[in-house]
Amino acid sequence: DQQVKQNSPSLSVQEGRISILNCDYTNSMFDYFLWYKKYPAEGPTFLISISSIKDKNEDGRFTVFLNKSAKHLSLHIVPSQPGDSAVYFCAASGRGWGKLQFGAGTQVVVTP
Amino acid sequence: GAVVSQHPSRVICKSGTSVKIECRSLDFQATTMFWYRQFPKQSLMLMATSNEGSKATYEQGVEKDKFLINHASLTLSTLTVTSAHPEDSSFYICSAQTTDGDEQYFGPGTRLTVT
């Protein structure tokens, strides 16, 4: 039973524009959310996170928004760059950190 | 930043044989390591939680006798796929959690192909 869902398998965006990736979750016990970036044949690398007590966290070009009532979070990348082309995974964790539930990922392609 | 290595990066084995995958935290100690599996175009699925010096905790549906986990030190956890079958072919990724629990770092993954 998939508790973290990324319903868009792919996203194509022009360089310089905004990329918006969406993630929905079903488990209200999740209290920590993370975004990872993954290149082919490599492990995921941490991008940005947000705890359930916040609704926004920003780090450079990356901003994560959390809507707890809707059980929805999104990742905004602006401006998008060709190096951002990768698979982005949304992940969630319960209290105490550790075990992560991952979404299926969204393949982002940034075109020149 | 912290580095987690996995060895081998790629392995091909025959059906019925066993394969061992190592996960090492290179510059930090990890009381807890996690093993994930990723099938093509699917998400990473947590298989088990490995705690140093104690038995691993397996997720529902993961056979503990098939996927043997040993976490003998604070920097090394191993996953042994016993009597491998073609359906075990997958990308196996480990992650290591810092002892303060604040960070989790992923290894590069091991591509297992069972023929």
Q: What is the three-state SS of B57-111? A: EECCCCCCCCEEEEEEECCEEEEEECCCCHHHCEEEEEEEECCCCCCEEECCCEE
Position B41 scores a pLDDT of 75
- Mean pLDDT over residues A93-98, rounded? 73
- Mean pLDDT over residues A45-74, rounded? 95
Q: In which element (H, E) is residue A51 found?
A: strand A45-51
Q: What is the mean pLDDT of chain A?
A: 93
Q: Which of B42, B46, B107 sits opposite A43 (nearest CB)?
A: B107
pLDDT at A11 exceeding the cut of 70: yes
Per DSSP, A102 falls in state E
Cα(B115)–Cα(B112) distance, integer angstroms: 10
Strand pairing of B110-114 and B10-13? parallel
- B115's tokens: 């023929």
Share of chain B above pLDDT 90, in %: 70
Provide the residue count of chain B. 115
Partners of B93 on chain A (C-beta within 8 Å) are 43-44
pLDDT at A39 exceeding the cut of 80: yes
- Mean pLDDT over residues A32-50, rounded? 90
Cα(B77)–Cα(B21) distance, integer angstroms: 9
Distances (CA, A) of B91 to A102, B21, B82: 15, 11, 16
pLDDT band at A97 (very low <50, low <70, confident <90, very high): low
- Answer with the residue of higher pLDDT: A89 or A99: A89
Instruction: Verify whether the Cβ–Cβ distance B93 to A43 is below 8 Å.
Output: yes
Query: Residue A102 in contact with residue A5, Cβ under 8 Å?
Result: no
Instruction: Verify whether the Cβ–Cβ distance B109 to A43 is below 8 Å.
Output: yes
**Span A14-28, pLDDT tens digits:** 999 999 999 999 999
Query: Residue B41 in contact with residue B111, Cβ under 8 Å?
Result: no
Q: Which of B42, B101, B105 sits opposite A97 (nearest CB)?
A: B101
**Span B43-71, pLDDT tens digits:** 889 999 998 888 899 999 999 999 999 98
Cα(B8)–Cα(B77) distance, integer angstroms: 13
- Mean pLDDT over residues A54-62, rounded? 96
pLDDT at B1 exceeding the cut of 70: no
